[in-house]
A and B are shown apart, each in its own frame.
Chain A
Amino acid sequence: EAGVAQSPRYKIIEKRQSVAFWCNPISGHATLYWYQQILGQGPKLLIQFQNNGVVDDSQLPKDRFSAERLKGVDSTLKIQPAKLEDSAVYLCASSLTSVARDNSPLHFGNGTRLTVT
């Protein structure tokens, strides 16, 4: 099966500019996650979708970050305006269901490496 697709792979922007990332999950996966991974740290959940609804966005800096999954498939994550501390790898993941006890682990994309200068 095709994996989780993310684009772009790399992005360099100046602070205060805006940027958008795109994610196409594995076909049929209902749950989609966006994680932020700062260098030397573990992934931190930004937002979780179940189909096209938001399940958890408690750690999303909503003053500058937004995400949508309008048709319950693809998703975009936007940062506007970007700050230096937003430099990180943004990982998209999907799973078949939202329940961890099922045999449906997270499948990760290769990520988008964002550098804010």
Chain B
Amino acid sequence: AQSVTQLDSQVPVFEEAPVELRCNYSSSVSVYLFWYVQYPNQGLQLLLKYLSGSTLVKGINGFEAEFNKSQTSFHLRKPSVHISDTAEYFCAVSLTGNQFYFGTGTSLTVIP
């Protein structure tokens, strides 16, 4: 069975400071990894994805994530956050087929 662990349920950070949202997964097979963002009362939007190739993936809104196979992690980072980044962030894994498994989410709050 696949599982996704987001270690931090809430992350407060000051505006223009860097942030890292952590994600670990467990899988016995190759997976594909995703980060989604959810703004209040909206659906999820894709931030970035890792399918293959370079382990450093760049996404929208200045976010990036690094796939670390040995540590089974896919942490999300941004060097300088903005107020508009306040949202819920979900890490997800997908098997070679098509099932997607989501973590419980990390609520990022950017403090002015």
Q: What is the interface residue range for chain B against chain A?
A: 20 to 34
Asked, given contacts A101-B51, A101-B52, A105-B34, whether A45 binds B99 with beta carbons under 8 Å apart, the answer is yes
Q: Which residue of B lies closest to A104 (CB)?
A: B98
Please state if A108 and B32 are interface contacts (CB–CB under 8 Å). no
* B43 and A109 contact, CB distance less than 8 A: yes
Given contacts A31-B98, A106-B100, contact A41 B43 (CB under 8 A): no
The answer on a CB contact under 8 Å between A101 and B104 is no
The reply to whether A99 and B97 contact each other, CB–CB distance below 8 Å, is yes
Report B30 CB to chain A, min CB distance, Å.
9
- Of all chain A residues, which has the CB nearest B90? A42
> B29-61: which residues lie under 8 A (CB-CB) from chain A?
32, 34, 36, 41-46, 49, 51-52
B residues contacting A by CB (< 8 A) are 4, 6, 32, 34, 36, 41-46, 49, 51-52, 90, 92, 94-105
